Amino acid sequence: MKSDPMFAAASALFTGVMLLLVTPAASAPLPVIDGNLADLRSYALDLKTTGAGYGGAFVDAPDGNGNPLEETVYSDAKFIPCPSPQPPLDSHWTNGFEIFEQVIAYVPGTTTLYLGLRTEGAIGDTDGNDDPDLSGGQGCNPEDNIDESPGVSGTELYVWRFDLNCDGTSDSGFRFENNALTGYGQFAGAIVEYAYRKNAAAGADGHGLEMAIHLSAPLPLGFRFNGVQANAFDGLTEDSAQGINFSPNGGIEAQAHAVPAAICPGGVTRLSFAISNTGQAPLTVLASGTLPASLVYAGNPASECGAGPPTNDAGALAWPPFDLAPGTVCALSFDVTGGPGCAGDVLVPFFAEGDFSSICLDGGLLAVTTEASASVTCGLCPGEACPRTPGFWNAQCAQMGNGSTKFTRAQVTSIAECIDDRSAFFNWTSGTDFDQFCRTITPPKPMDQRKQAKRQFACLLANVCTDQLNLQPSRGGEIYLDPSTAVHCDGFEAGTIGELIDEVDALLVGLEGESLNDADVKAKYAAIIGCCDGINNGLTIAVAPGCEDGGAVPTGADGEAAPSVELYRPMPNPFSGTTSFSYMVSGPDAAGVEITVYDVAGRQIRKLVGGEQTAGIHTATWDGKNDQGAQVQRGVYFVRTVIAGHKESTNRILYLTNGR
């Protein structure tokens, strides 16, 4: 027998039947019932590829090359078939009951089942003359004595068997006999369209039987197709092909989010865990979640599917089981408050498992799982703190006499003496406090980690001492930094500014004299710098609204207005794509302007503007990426402006899109 490329291709794609999950819609058109199985085969393939239903196409008894093996033989000498010369007993001849291929396609929940059968000879042809209506004929063995009744009639029979409850017994099916296709069991009364005769216009060669069965009700979600049998009469020719179990594949997905996405310690946000049944099986769902220590369950539970409230065991949440139909979504929601240790981004993980039981499933149980996490940013709420940066204190040390000078030399000396008294590390000789403080704030070049750590720590102490001495800048503005201010820095155990001062002070004493080439030493200095810089810039502590607003516009040595920059509100804020903001540069000449995005830990994320800017209104845009071009994580970020080396203003923005 010659190799048939059609069967080779089919066998390569299907080793037995392929089962599909109904989720999206099929993209291939419905098959036309014309006896050409090509479109039915494509439809079944599409159901598999798109996951839109059950589909199967398989070759019966394929050989190593994917071609169907010839199985039927005749063993009764009283029957003489058409082929000439007459085939010997116990040999094969081409006929319409040698099954080559089966095709099945069904979308669960619908009432149309498609079946296809392809045989070696013409459908309904018993004697092998490729004609279902006539016996013998030109080219046949003259001794051909097999009576050929018209169509599929007489002793000719095709039967499809189904076990719809998977109990091991065929309970429903179809019989094609006496030129009629009728159903039995659940298929009784079904309306059947079918075609099998040659149709050159449709490309049908008469070897394919194509059927569309219109059912009175959808098939069960799980069932067994027991296969098809083709039979002329005993002793002449018969063949059968095995079937396969069909059962629903499960699908479950989840999303989680918090509204609002950013809260203060003590603030409330509502968490939602939305579970979607993306499969075709109804699921019984168990959902759970785990609250980190920094978030506290605050009750007010709700659901869209009748699920009861969760139990709460020290932050471990567990919902009672609930049912979720295919294509539906259940959102579980509840409130949480930010605890004292809530700082930066925290994740709330959720988990769900959906189960479906059916005797048609291997093992009887289908289980699918999903998980998602909600991100909560514990940002900084408006507070009383209002610190200044090393640049500000450098200007106080310079005592230029212009608008940048906010404290007299005597006041700066008092602040430096307070620093000396508060710190064990800074142990300056009496009478040298002003000079030693200023030398620490503006150290000789080159700058290194040790100098920068001392500089940032001295600046932090200057802010605290200014508050304690009840000193305030001239020409407006305020400086406040109470030791009781809450703070959280990576690498430190302190929970307040006062505790942090003691911890950093002791660490600096221990690090003095250690090699800056030591990786551990470098890491500790880096932690000090990052922590103190975040505080001095008001990025990691709760600062007062409009902390640096007010006061006279700084003037230059010549009495003219010094350059300044005003940063306007970002729009939109929060944002998930890009945000833009305008800023106005004022002053007689161009000035160096820097606009930089920082995270809540004070780390630089993206420099947006850097260089000379002329007076006027300009616009900057941030797309949520860092300096390396990578998308940042969702959370709270700060935009800080500096002009001519002086920090001007800071805006808080909330980025909503997850990166990386």
pLDDT tens per residue across span 496-548: 899 999 999 999 999 999 999 999 999 999 999 989 988 888 877 877 766 65
- pLDDT at site 550: 34
Instruction: Name the 3-class secondary structure at 208.
Output: strand
The token duo for 346 is: 């925290």
φ/ψ bin of 141: left (φ > 0), alpha (ψ from -120 to 50), beta (otherwise): beta
* Global pTM value: 0.53
Looking at residue 442, its amino acid is T
Interacting residues of 138 by C-beta distance below 8 A, sequence separation 6+: none
Nearest residue to 656 (alpha-carbon basis) of 643, 642, 637: 637
- pLDDT at site 234: 52
- pLDDT at site 499: 93
Q: What is the CATH number of domain 563-660?
A: 2.60.40.1930
pLDDT grade, residue 65 (50/70/90)?
confident
**Is the pLDDT score of 36 beyond 70?**
yes
User: Considering only 335-344, 369-378, 550-559, which range has the smallest mean pLDDT?
Assistant: 550-559
**Is the pLDDT score of 554 beyond 50?**
no
Segments of the chain assigned to CATH 2.60.40.1930: 563-660
Most confident of 154-163, 453-462, 541-550: 453-462
**Is the pLDDT score of 353 beyond 50?**
yes
pLDDT grade, residue 484 (50/70/90)?
confident
Q: What is the CATH number of domain 252-378?
A: 2.60.40.740
pLDDT grade, residue 568 (50/70/90)?
low
**Is the pLDDT score of 551 beyond 70?**
no
**Is the pLDDT score of 328 beyond 50?**
yes
pLDDT grade, residue 5 (50/70/90)?
very low
- Bigger pLDDT: 508 or 549? 508
User: Considering only 53-67, 130-144, 220-234, 589-603, which range has the smallest mean pLDDT?
Assistant: 589-603
**Is the pLDDT score of 429 beyond 70?**
yes
- pLDDT at site 330: 92
C-beta of residue 105 within 8 angstroms of C-beta of residue 112? no
Query: What is the arithmetic mean of pLDDT over 298-308?
Result: 90
C-beta of residue 74 within 8 angstroms of C-beta of residue 127? no
**Is the pLDDT score of 10 beyond 50?**
no
In the DSSP assignment, the letter for residue 187 is G
The token duo for 96 is: 């319409």
Segments of the chain assigned to CATH 2.60.40.740: 252-378
Nearest residue to 376 (alpha-carbon basis) of 270, 237, 458: 270
Which phi and psi (to 5°) does residue 64 adopt? -65, -20
**Is the pLDDT score of 20 beyond 60?**
no
Calpha distance 464→58 (Å, rounded): 81
Most confident of 19-28, 129-138, 255-264: 129-138
Residue matched to tokens 């804020």: 573
Measured CA to CA in angstroms, residue 84 lies from 1, 138, 208, 636 at distances of 16, 11, 25, 87
φ/ψ bin of 106: left (φ > 0), alpha (ψ from -120 to 50), beta (otherwise): beta
